[in-house]
Amino acid sequence: MIEIENLVKRYGDVMALDGLTLTVKKGQIYGFLGPNGAGKSTAILSTLGLIYPQKGRIRLFEEEVFRDGKYNEKQLIKAKARIGYMPENATLWEFLTPMQTLDIIGESFGLSREERAKRARELLELVDLWEARDKKVGKFSKGMKQRLLLAQALINDPDLLILDEPMTGLDPTGIAEFKNIILRQKKEGKTVFFSSHILAHVEEVCDTVGVIVRGKLRAEDSIDNIKMSFLKKVGYLILLETDKPVSFDGTDWKIEKVSETKYKITAPSDIRPEINEIVWNQGAKILQLMVRVPSLEEVFLELVEKNKG
Ligand SMILES: Nc1ncnc2c1ncn2[C@@H]1O[C@H](COP(=O)(O)OP(=O)(O)OP(=O)(O)O)[C@@H](O)[C@H]1O
């Protein structure tokens, strides 16, 4: 659905995208994760043809829309008819009701009066705002506003939804509600690409995560696979029964002696068989061996730290 290749965007001296490459496949919920200023909004704005990168390629729905500084306007317009976009920090007309808001947006997409009324009802039910359909938006909570913005993005029944930081500023209930709506989109066969700098937003809901740091993608995979690739950093916490210290000389493992019988070991692969052998050969016994799989949070922070420059 989205293929970005070696995209470069400079704002004066600031290198916002430094050869960004990423792929979003049909039916995915793709979490575009990165710290503040990493280049997420720049990538999204480029995908929508709203800013001019200097180099690279962008394909949408398998058609090239951008190459080396130029958009193919015809293809871009065609692609955008199939995209729903929710910008970061978007504002609503506070003095209008959700019905009026969706009516105006529907009209701008060329929907007839009947279509607009039908679509508004479907969408307001979907985002759980039907009861509030005739209330002024100005009185809404942040969560209600975000859900209305999402309904707005869905007005043209898009195949691809692009959401820039949609959950920022929501409370836990708001986040849970938003995640549910996103999951429902996937069930309907839609593809969702959304950015966040908060890890908890992408965990649970995304099947694929791309991590951008300083304008480059540093990892792109399923959450499980990203964690697996960090298995080399897995730590084993070992409890031994021994009357003398055990030596791990000759291994390249990182050993931290917590006490005479307790060791924390970090190793680049699954070393469980070797640990057994070493300990056994020195007359000691393993009482407990715990594997410490890193959380996505740790993986993310590590990626950010490693690529900070
Ligand atoms: N219009 C602009 N003019 C100059 N520099 C800009 C402009 N827009 C963004 N930048 C810079 O480009 C870099 C990437 O910004 P971008 O907004 O794409 O990051 P982001 O990952 O979306 O950040 P956030 O999570 O804070 O929204 C940052 O250093 C930012 O300051």
d(CA 59, CA 3): 5
Mutate-to-test residue for ligand 1 from 7, 9, 10, 11, highest number of ligand atoms within 8 A of CB: 11
- Between the CA of 45 and the centroid of ligand 1 the distance, in Å, is 11
Evaluate the CA torsion angle 26, 31, 33, 38 in order and state its sign.
Answer: positive
Tell me which residue has its CA closest to atom 30 in ligand 1: 37
Give tens-digit pLDDT for 190-241. 999 999 988 778 888 998 999 888 899 988 888 777 766 665 566 777 888 8
Which structure tokens are listed for 72? Answer: 């193919």
231-293: CATH class: alpha beta
- Between the CA of 268 and the centroid of ligand 1 the distance, in Å, is 36
d(CA 181, CA 129): 12
Give tens-digit pLDDT for 31-86. 998 888 889 999 999 999 999 999 999 999 999 999 988 999 999 999 999 999 99
183 lines ligand 1 (CB under 6 A): no
9 lines ligand 1 (CB under 6 A): no
pLDDT at 52: 94
Least confident of 94-108, 139-153, 219-233: 219-233
Give 190's strand partners: none
d(CA 160, CA 193): 8
Give 289's strand partners: 238
pLDDT at 308: 72
Alpha-helical runs (H) found in 127-222: 142-153, 172-187, 199-202
Could you tell me which residues come within 8 angstroms of residue 267 by beta carbon, excluding any fewer than 6 positions away?
232, 234, 236, 251, 252, 253, 254
290 lines ligand 1 (CB under 6 A): no
Evaluate the CA torsion angle 35, 185, 106, 140 in order and state its sign.
Answer: negative
Q: Are strands 63-67 and 2-11 parallel, antiparallel or unpaired?
A: unpaired
- On average, the pLDDT of the chain sits at 88
d(CA 98, CA 123): 10
What residue ranges do the domains of the chain occupy? 2-223, 231-293
DSSP sequence for 90-130: ----TTS-HHHHHHHHHHHTT--HHHHHHHHHHHHHHTT-S
Asked if residues 207 and 192 have their Cβ atoms less than 8 Å apart, the reply is no
Give tens-digit pLDDT for 154-176. 998 999 999 999 988 788 888 88
Give the total residue count for the chain. Answer: 309
pLDDT at 293: 65
- Between the CA of 37 and the centroid of ligand 1 the distance, in Å, is 5
- Between the CA of 85 and the centroid of ligand 1 the distance, in Å, is 18
- Between the CA of 11 and the centroid of ligand 1 the distance, in Å, is 9
d(CA 176, CA 181): 9
Give tens-digit pLDDT for 4-35. 999 999 999 999 999 999 999 999 999 998 88
2-223: CATH class: alpha beta
pLDDT at 258: 85
Q: What is the maximum alpha-carbon separation in the chain?
A: 84
84 lines ligand 1 (CB under 6 A): no
11 lines ligand 1 (CB under 6 A): yes
Asked if residues 126 and 79 have their Cβ atoms less than 8 Å apart, the reply is no
Strand, coil or helix: 25: coil
Mutate-to-test residue for ligand 1 from 4, 8, 13, 14, highest number of ligand atoms within 8 A of CB: 14
